[in-house]
Amino acid sequence: MTQYLTKVVTFDEFVAQYPDDSGKLYELHDGVIVEMPPPTGDHEEIIGFLVRKLSVESDRLNLPYLIPKTVFVKPLASESAYSPDILLLNQPNLVNEPLWKKKSTVSQAASIPLVVEVVSTAVASSRETRPTHCLTNWRDDYHKKFADYEEMGIPEYWILDYAALGSREYIGKPKQPTILVCSLEDGEYQINKFRQGDRIQSPTFPDLNLTVEQIFQAGGTISAE
């Protein structure tokens, strides 16, 4: 069996060379620099719509939250750094983040009320061994990031799977566009699944009046009736 060796770097080495001049987006996965695939239009429209709705709800509730453009989330237990599709930050706690000012990085659950990943159809590849070392995006969101966000103690994690790419274990059978809201209880995520016809129920925003259709229609992935 052929084995491919990948150069392992530390988080400090990663942020020292990021960003580069290519305009590409990278994450660090257990010491491996991974080039993230360029987003599709559907992907960006869904993100833009949801950012607007969450920002409005944060303002309505007078919560000290902000949604930055580019911030890394670093699990303390690994040499990883993620750049979530949507990251809600609790601004008052940023003074306690040692990497915030110089490296735009957060690692404390108190800084992150909510994180959102939108599952992509594309494939991410290692910067060092492309294309021999590949990671499919949906597996990252459902497995690796799920486990790391849970271990960090992030209270709420949404997975938006508009193309129904996740395994049947997560989105059921038959597979259909699904939003998973993962809420931390006693140190473990409890998963609630929402599909067409459902209103999202969020512990962070209990009065949020938003349906699966509204979110996915923003990217044209579910046709309006």
State pLDDT tens for residues 77-100: 899 999 999 999 999 999 999 999
pTM listed for this prediction: 0.88
What is the predicted pLDDT for the residue at 122? 54
User: Looking at residue 141, what DSSP letter applies?
Assistant: I
Which pLDDT does position 4 carry in this prediction?
A: 38
Amino acid at position 12, single letter: D
Arithmetic mean of pLDDT over the chain: 87
38: pLDDT strictly greater than 90:
no
CA dihedral (28, 34, 35, 41) in degrees, to 10, reads -80
CA distance 119 to 51: 16
pLDDT digits (tens, 9 = 90+) for 155-194: 999 999 999 999 998 888 889 999 999 999 999 999 999 9
CA distances (Å), origin 78, targets 19, 57, 117, 152: 21, 33, 20, 11
pLDDT at 19: 64
Round to whole Å and give the CA distance between 148 and 78. 9
Q: Per residue in 189-225, pLDDT tens? A: 999 999 999 999 999 999 999 999 999 998 676 544 4
Contacts of 63 (CB under 8 A, 6+ apart): none
The pLDDT confidence band at residue 48, using thresholds 50, 70 and 90, is very high
